[in-house]
Amino acid sequence: MAEAVAEEEGKKKSGLLKWIILVVLLLALGGGGFFAYTKFFRAPAPEAAPGAEPAPAVQEHAPPEAHGEAKKEEKSHEGKKEGEKGGKPVSLMVSLDPFVVNLADPPPARRYMKVRVDAEMVDEKAANEIKDKNVFIRDAIILLLSSKTSQDVSSMEGKLSMRKEIAEKINLTLEGPKVVRVYFSELVIQ
């Protein structure tokens, strides 16, 4: 009889252990599934009205030493804004929507590139002009980027050359040297 009670307790303990392992595994799978869903499968944030093209964001950036301090801006004799410290001009950054293009690699390779471009403008008038000519600028940049191969853009020299060419295309569209520099805030080649 003592053996029967011992066997029953052994079965209860092994049955309880199986349930605990099953719950832990289900929680781990659920957590992994949730992570995968949020990282890879979640739909992008909802956009504005359908058919409406979003305007590029215009941001003013001060020199690093002026962050966190009250910025008193004055107009200089050249018309550029100057911060209180150092007299360095405040730059206007215009962020363009990301570009996704197929690269011009030979047929078996089908690669694409995603680029997010930020342009440093000379003044606010030029920043507003980039909004007005956004369609023409995007077209010129897409044509430029889609003519590149993955070898063209994989090296540092290729990326720097591409930044220079994008600045030239924007300046050509804006009819004057209104872009100081172009920066890549995102560049992915697959």
The reply to whether 90 and 36 lie within a common domain is no
Could you report the per-residue pLDDT of 6-58, keeping only the tens digit for each? 566 666 677 888 889 999 999 999 888 888 888 777 655 544 444 444 545 55
For residue 49, is it within any domain?
Answer: no
160-173 average pLDDT score: 95
**Interstrand relation of 112-121 and 99-102 (parallel, antiparallel or unpaired):** antiparallel
The reply to whether 91 and 172 lie within a common domain is yes
On average, the pLDDT of the chain sits at: 78
Q: What is the pLDDT of residue 33?
A: 86
The reply to whether 123 and 33 lie within a common domain is no
Range of the domain at 37: 1-44
CB-based contact 90:62 (threshold 8 Å): yes
The reply to whether 94 and 185 lie within a common domain is yes
For residue 73, is it within any domain?
Answer: no
Q: What angle do CA 115, 111, 51 make, to 5 degrees?
A: 50
Q: What is the pLDDT of residue 11?
A: 63
Q: Look up residue 65 and give its two tokens.
A: 């030493």
For residue 74, is it within any domain?
Answer: no
* pLDDT over threshold 90, residue 171: yes
The Cα–Cα gap between 155 and 16 comes to 59
The more confident residue out of 148 and 109 is 148
For residue 77, is it within any domain?
Answer: no
The reply to whether 111 and 179 lie within a common domain is yes
* pLDDT over threshold 60, residue 78: no
Tell me the backbone φ, ψ of residue 144, rounded to 5 degrees. Answer: -65, -50
The reply to whether 129 and 185 lie within a common domain is yes
Could you report the per-residue pLDDT of 80-96, keeping only the tens digit for each? 444 444 555 667 899 99
The Cα–Cα gap between 163 and 184 comes to 8
For residue 37, is it within any domain?
Answer: yes
- Give the global pTM: 0.55
The Cα–Cα gap between 186 and 113 comes to 10
* pLDDT over threshold 80, residue 167: yes
Range name among 5-19, 72-86, 149-163, 173-187 with the lowest pLDDT average: 72-86
Count how many domains the chain has.
2
The reply to whether 90 and 179 lie within a common domain is yes
For residue 81, is it within any domain?
Answer: no
* pLDDT over threshold 60, residue 190: yes
CB-based contact 178:167 (threshold 8 Å): no
CATH number at residue 131: 3.30.479.30
